[in-house]
Structures are given as C-alpha cells and as structure tokens.
Amino acid sequence: MNATTQNAKASNATYSDLREWVEQVDRLGELTTIRGADRDLEIPGIWETVSREGGGIAPALLFDDIPGYPAGFRILFGELESVRRLAMTLRLEMKGADILSCVRACRDRLRKMTLLPPRKLASGAISENVESGSEIDLYKFPVPQHHEQDGGRFFGTGHCVISRDPDEGWVNLGTYRCMLLDRRSLCLHMSAGRDGRTMMNKYFTRGEPFKVAVALGTDPALYLASTMTIPWGVSEYDFAGGLKGDPMEVIEGPRTKLPLPANAEIVVEGECRPGDTHLEGPFGEWAGYYANCGLSPVHEPIIHIKTLLYRSSPIFTCSQPAKPPSDLFAQGVFRSALIWDELEKAGVPNVRGVWCELAGGTRLFNIVSLKQAYPGHSRQAGIIASQCGSGVYIGRYTVVVDDDIDITDMKDVIWAISTRSDPVRSLEITRRGRSSSADPAVAPDVKVTSHNPDHTFTSKAIIDACWPYEWINRAYPVAQVSPELSRRILTKWGEQLKLNGHGSQ
C-alpha cells in the first residue's frame, strides 16, 4: 500500500489524489483512454466533439502516447462532466440519478458542510521533481493549442491559480487562464472583480511583486472549488475540504511560501511585477466566442516562473471553453445549487429547482421553478436570481416557471415561456447590470474605447413564465396523456413500440 492509499483509507474519501481518482472513474466505466492523438487542436478537438455529442455530459478522456512526449506524459479532459463522476468525487447522497437530484444533493452538501482547513505536510508527491531557475522548461509538458484561432498554447485551462491577500493573509484559488510565453513565463488573464485580480492590484499599488503558484492535476474537488464564486475571505482550500468532507493536503512552496497542493501533478511558482505585461490571447471562451477583444490580443501580467515541481509521468489537466454545451456541466450544477441557496437565504419560499442551462454557458439563461404562494412571488424570485452573487455575472435571462415544468428540459421551458407568458405582462428588464469582458453582446468598440474590456454593462431580463397569480386556480388544463394512462400504455405496448416513457410524464 503506498502513502496516498494509506491516506485515503484513513479518511472518508474514496481517493486521495488525481491518480486514484482516475482509477475510480475507470471502475465506474466513465474513462476513455486515447493513444497517439496530437497535442495541438486534435486532443482538445476530440474532447470538444465528444462533449458536444453528449450535450455536455461525457466520459473523462485520458490521452497518452502523445507524439513528441514520453509515454506516460498524459492529458486529461472532462473531469467532472457527469452526474456519476460528480457524485463519486464528493460522495454525494443522491435521491435519484437525474440532473436536478444532483443539484439538490450539491445544495444539501453546501448547506451542511463546514469549512475544513488544509492539512500541512512536510512533503508530498509533488516534490518528486523540483527544478529552479534555468533548469525550468515548461515545454517539457504537452501544453496544447486549444482552438484554431487561439493566439498561442495555454498552460493553464484546468488548473488553480494560488495567491495570498497582503492585508488579510488568506489564500485564494481561482481558475484564471495562463498562456505559455516561453520556457519560464506565462501570461495571466484575470477578469475585473476576480479575487486573484483584487489581490494583485493591492500588491501593485504598493509597488510590490504579486507571488502566485499555478497547480494542475489537483484533487478534482479543489479544482471545482477554484472555479466557483465563493465569498471574499473564504479560502478555496477550506471550502474544497468542506465540500469533499476531507481536508486538502498542502506543502509550503519553496519559493513563494504559498500552500501548494501536496499531491498535485504539476505546480509552478512565480511572480508578476507592476507594469510588466505581454500581449495575451486571443483564446476561445466559455460563451462560445473570442469575446474578450475579438481576435486582438490584450496586455496582461506576465508570471515569471521561479520553481517547477512535478510528479513523474504527470497528468496535465485541461478544459476546453468553447461554444456551449462543451465542458460546463459541473459549473451548471454548482451555480444552480448556489443560486437556489441564495434565493432561500433571501427569503424566497417554495423554490422547487434552479437550473443554469448549459446552452447559455451556465451564466446567460437560468431557470427557476417554484410553487407560487402569493402575488409577486415569481417576480421576486426572478429579480433576486438575476442579481444575487452567484447569478449576477452577465446573468442575461432568468426564466421563472411553475413547478410542473422540467427546468432541465429546454422543450418544456420554451413551452412554458411561449404559452404562459405575455411579453407586455411578463418581461422585466433591469439596466446597467454586471457584465464582463467575455460578454459577446457588448460591442467591440465599447471594449476597445474604454481601454478596459471589463468596463462593460448589460441589461438583464426576467421572463416570468408562471401562470398569472390572479387566475392560477383557473389555469387551463394541460392536454397530455396522464401518468396513469401512460403507465398502462407502456406496460401493454412499450416493448412492441420500443417506448421508453420519456414522452409522457
């Protein structure tokens, strides 16, 4: 039994590092290994195609025998893009196998969990190879070019960027893309308002360097936490520990003294300096466009790498932002759970579900279902969901429907919008709301002339597709085979007609 297996046995977790996690996924039957595919365009393109075919739900893909690299230098895509992998990773207590049961289980976990600070170790698997200064060569890893029109290869797409707040001392992890510039430098893209960027600005205002570490192949629970918007001041290390029910393990970074994930696959430590920038991008983004500034690169801070730590035969983790629904499933589940929680905390009763639709990039088209209890209830839910912390980032359309609608089925949602809403009565528009440099509906001229692509605004629409409260008790009956009749038909005719029962609930 090796050290990591012993650690897993001593805790609640079913795995203790990414390698054990990959084995578990393989046992679940959700891992596909592909050999001989090319690093640039082909590997990311295979993942994007598989993910798109599955509507955003797909097996994890592990690429090995990558031409030009030693066997065993692997690339992993699609860590958490299925209900079963998410459930296994976080040991979720699921009451059903469907997406909304998964959202519910994640929401329960968020409500019940307590923050668990990381356990500090003297060394970890990540210390297997440690290099510094001129020994460092990031080209030894299969860093891919993801999309045809990208401006380069990206080292960080499925990773965590680690930094410490200079005033409060807490440690943030965020997933902010890192473009490969040369053997020892990366370029870092952090949108306005990101915790990492706020921290960097504080150092720069004092004329001090901003120390960072970039970790790939971490515990998938830590990667997930790093992609989630959690309150300022809460470290994603503590949050991930709570989410998984098992503390993360860290070692002290030799150069930055930042806590580094002890069993990650690859970690680099370095620093950004005030005024020291390089052209970054373009890079295909989650909304399905090159929306930052079209195909023009933008100046972003350079990370000068001082230390490289990696495990032998490392697994290089990636994600593929692209036209949805690619690579967004775990984001959709957790953002839905977080918005649901925020609605309840704001005092909105009877919420029956929230779903941040993958086709809207999990940020642009969110749906709330509720059982209406009083006049104005559905409007209240829509306005709060569109402006709460977890929903406000662009958050363009929020649809509110009655609880008979399956909010994870867009045919049902469109049916509700088109039959129960009336544009004049049902649309609410708020103006000058939070947008982003990634917002494709903001004109390129605005991003260029403001000299800061983040100085943007969007309006937000609430589509109240609930039956009007004043005549809800006289709402028109739905014309559809009843569940009772449907069951009888399935029993009698299901086999002959190859019916699976999805057509009638």
Ligand X SMILES: Cc1cc2nc3c(=O)[nH]c(=O)nc-3n(C[C@H](O)[C@H](O)[C@H](O)COP(=O)(O)O)c2cc1C
Q: Does 319 bind ligand X (CB under 6 A)?
A: yes
Q: Of 24 and 229, which CB lies nearer to ligand X in the complex structure?
A: 229
CA torsion sign for 123, 243, 334, 167 is negative
Between β-strands 457-464 and 397-402, what pairing exists: parallel, antiparallel or unpaired? parallel
Q: Does 228 bind ligand X (CB under 6 A)?
A: yes
Exposed/middle/buried for residue 6 (C-beta within 10 Å: 0-12, 13-18, 19+) = exposed
Nearest CA to 266 out of 317, 221, 225 is that of 317
Q: Does 338 bind ligand X (CB under 6 A)?
A: no
Q: Of 145 and 331, which CB lies nearer to ligand X in the complex structure?
A: 331
Task: Quote the CA–CA distance of 465 and 360 in Å, as a whole number.
Answer: 18
Binder of ligand X out of 101, 191, 277, 430 (CB under 6 A): 191
Q: Which range of residues in 35-43, 68-76, 111-119, 172-180 is near ligand X by CB under 6 A?
A: 172-180
Q: Which range of residues in 121-129, 221-229, 468-476, 487-495 is near ligand X by CB under 6 A?
A: 221-229
Neighbours of 99 (CB within 10 A): 21
| 469-474: Cβ within 8 A, 24+ apart | 469/372, 469/374, 469/375, 469/376, 469/377, 469/378, 470/375, 472/372
Q: Does 386 bind ligand X (CB under 6 A)?
A: no
> Least distance to ligand X from the beta carbon of 254, Å?
24
Q: Does 504 bind ligand X (CB under 6 A)?
A: no
Task: Quote the CA–CA distance of 174 and 195 in Å, as a whole number.
Answer: 8
Q: Does 118 bind ligand X (CB under 6 A)?
A: no
Q: Does 456 bind ligand X (CB under 6 A)?
A: no
Q: Does 132 bind ligand X (CB under 6 A)?
A: no
Q: Does 196 bind ligand X (CB under 6 A)?
A: yes
Task: Name the packing angle between helices 83-90 and 18-28 (round to 10°).
Answer: 130
- The site that binds ligand X (CB under 6 A) totals a number of residues, namely 17
Task: Quote the CA–CA distance of 341 and 73 in Å, as a whole number.
Answer: 41
Q: Does 32 bind ligand X (CB under 6 A)?
A: no
Q: Does 229 bind ligand X (CB under 6 A)?
A: yes
Q: Which range of residues in 191-199, 349-357, 415-423, 472-480 is near ligand X by CB under 6 A?
A: 191-199
Q: Does 189 bind ligand X (CB under 6 A)?
A: yes
> Least distance to ligand X from the beta carbon of 368, Å?
21
Neighbours of 63 (CB within 10 A): 28
> Least distance to ligand X from the beta carbon of 171, Å?
10
Residue 391: which residues within 8 A CB-CB, separation 6 or more?
Answer: 335, 339, 342, 356, 366, 385, 398
Q: Of 270 and 321, which CB lies nearer to ligand X in the complex structure?
A: 321
Binder of ligand X out of 118, 174, 324, 395 (CB under 6 A): 174
Q: Does 244 bind ligand X (CB under 6 A)?
A: no
Exposed/middle/buried for residue 97 (C-beta within 10 Å: 0-12, 13-18, 19+) = exposed
Nearest CA to 293 out of 63, 453, 469 is that of 453
Region for 370 from its dihedrals, namely left if φ exceeds 0, alpha if ψ lies in -120 to 50, beta otherwise: beta
> Least distance to ligand X from the beta carbon of 358, Å?
13
Q: Of 4 and 227, which CB lies nearer to ligand X in the complex structure?
A: 227
Q: Does 326 bind ligand X (CB under 6 A)?
A: no
User: Which residues partner with 60 through β-bridges?
Assistant: 31
Binder of ligand X out of 16, 218, 307, 331 (CB under 6 A): 331
> Least distance to ligand X from the beta carbon of 66, Å?
21
Token digits of residue 152: 């380069």
Binder of ligand X out of 47, 63, 141, 176 (CB under 6 A): 176
Q: Which range of residues in 22-30, 110-118, 185-193, 445-453 is near ligand X by CB under 6 A?
A: 185-193
> Least distance to ligand X from the beta carbon of 81, Å?
11
Exposed/middle/buried for residue 476 (C-beta within 10 Å: 0-12, 13-18, 19+) = exposed
- Whole-angstrom CA distances from 178 to 19, 48, 200 are 24, 20, 15
By CB under 6 A, name the binding residues for ligand X.
172, 174-177, 189-191, 194-196, 227-229, 319, 321, 331
